[in-house]
A and B are shown apart, each in its own frame.
Chain A
Amino acid sequence: MSQFLRRITSLPIQSIRSFHSFDEVTPAKYISTRLKNGVGSRYVCQLQRLTIQVCKEFRTSFGTRDWIANDLIKFAREHPYVVVYVQPRRHRAPNLVGEYLAGDRQWIPLSNCDREKVNWWIHSLLTQKGDPQWRLLKQMHTDSPSVQGIWTPFTNKPIDRITRTYPDKDLTEMEYPQITATQQIQELFEQQKLNKTS
């Protein structure tokens, strides 16, 4: 429902901020992880290095400056496995660069974002695996697709169905074990006859 509403109503700009050209076809992939991450309830954060490029004077990086002043130390304490660099650049737009365990790199422009959106973007980089955007082919991934065996039309059926000659009398009787409608009507007719005679 929420996805449906998101399409109709005006969309949050923060979710489509990074550059994307529709001329190029995005690669299609299946779901995968690095080094079997998450097996046995063991998780390793994939983000290793975070670089915040910020200007001290321009209005475009006001939210980034706010975030650095208020939330940076808290973030660094909560996530000690992430190295955070703050890189001041005079009179240029603020950026966010994340570098990941497998060597991938993500880049997000932060110009004119307020403090909450900057926080949202940093946490989105933190929770990612780091690969560039890709088309979702399947919503699941399994190594063992079937436990009880793949269903065929012959599962839980007698084996000698193939060797029989059709139409087979036994099978038709199995399919219609109860009395048919014509037989019911015949019985009713006989009962009526008996009632009339008696």
Chain B
Amino acid sequence: MFISIGKAEINISTTFNVRANYPVRKFVHDNVHHDMEVQQLYTKVNNLVNDKFHQRLFAVIKIGDEQRKVTTEDIICKVDEFHPTIGDRIRFEKVLLVGSSDFTVVGRPILNPHFVRVEGIVIEKTLSQTQMEYWYAPRKKKVGARNYLWKDPLTMIRITNIELLGPIPGTNQSSSR
């Protein structure tokens, strides 16, 4: 878990490698200073999360190969075959980022499913307009012009709710660790 507001400080201490004579720089977290700074930030964000009347949330979710930025009550279209039918409720497990107007929580690479829940409902499964790909080979025999016609299957998904289920995991207020 990583919060975008805080700037983690990294102490660079020089140690001498045995094989090479030149000094190799090694990254070591200055834990004391880091914790002092970041725990305040964690408590601030956790207080915002516990507040029930917080602002509208947005999230970045992964559907198939692509990532979408969504808020509640918006429609996204998936241009591929998709197994769930109309009226099916979906929970999106791969949530990369969640935020409101005051804070942003970035997962690396995804957020804990006990921390955030993004749900959607399939409202429509249609076909796209008829698309054509025209291919023409003038000099080849028996292979003149070819038309490829197809329609892409479209799936419209409505995002019903984005919820924060508890404090950020890995902090003092959370039960884990």
Dominant SS among interface residues on chain B: strand
Chain A, Cβ-Cβ closest to B126: A128
Chain A, Cβ-Cβ closest to B155: A127
- Is B160 an interface residue when CB atoms closer than 8 A count as contact? yes
Q: How large is the interface on A (under 10, 10 to 19, 20 to 34, 35 or more residues)?
A: 35 or more
- Is A144 an interface residue when CB atoms closer than 8 A count as contact? yes
Q: Are B148 and A15 in contact (CB under 8 A)?
A: no
Contact partner of B158 among A39, A133, A134, CB < 8 A? A39
Q: How far is the CB of B85 from chain A (nearest CB, A)?
A: 6
Residues from chain B with Cβ under 8 Å of A38 in the complex: 75, 121, 123, 158, 160
In chain B, residues 148-164, which have Cβ atoms closer than 8 Å to a Cβ of chain A? 148-154, 156, 158, 160-161
- Is B100 an interface residue when CB atoms closer than 8 A count as contact? yes
Residues from chain B with Cβ under 8 Å of A143 in the complex: 73-74
**Distance A6 CA – B133 CA, assembled complex (angstroms):** 12
Contact partner of B58 among A2, A129, A133, A147, CB < 8 A? A147
Q: Are B77 and A31 in contact (CB under 8 A)?
A: yes
Given A127-B124, A143-B73; A45-B101 close (CB under 8 Å): no
**Distance A33 CA – B158 CA, assembled complex (angstroms):** 10
**Distance A7 CA – B70 CA, assembled complex (angstroms):** 30
Contact partner of B126 among A11, A16, A40, A129, CB < 8 A? A129
A-B contact count (CB 8 A): 116
Residues from chain B with Cβ under 8 Å of A140 in the complex: 68, 70, 74-77
Q: Are A142 and B86 in contact (CB under 8 A)?
A: no
Residues from chain B with Cβ under 8 Å of A124 in the complex: 125-127
- Is B137 an interface residue when CB atoms closer than 8 A count as contact? no
**Distance A148 CA – B151 CA, assembled complex (angstroms):** 37
Chain A, Cβ-Cβ closest to B152: A3
- Is A186 an interface residue when CB atoms closer than 8 A count as contact? no
Residues from chain A with Cβ under 8 Å of B85 in the complex: 123, 127
Contact partner of A45 among B70, B86, B152, CB < 8 A? B86
Q: Mark B85-100, 1 if CB is under 8 A from A, else 0.
A: 1110100000000011
In chain B, residues 113-169, which have Cβ atoms closer than 8 Å to a Cβ of chain A? 119, 121, 123-130, 132-133, 148-154, 156, 158, 160-161
> 11 interchain pairs (CB within 8 A)?
A16-B151, A31-B156, A36-B73, A39-B73, A39-B158, A43-B123, A123-B85, A127-B124, A136-B77, A140-B68, A142-B70
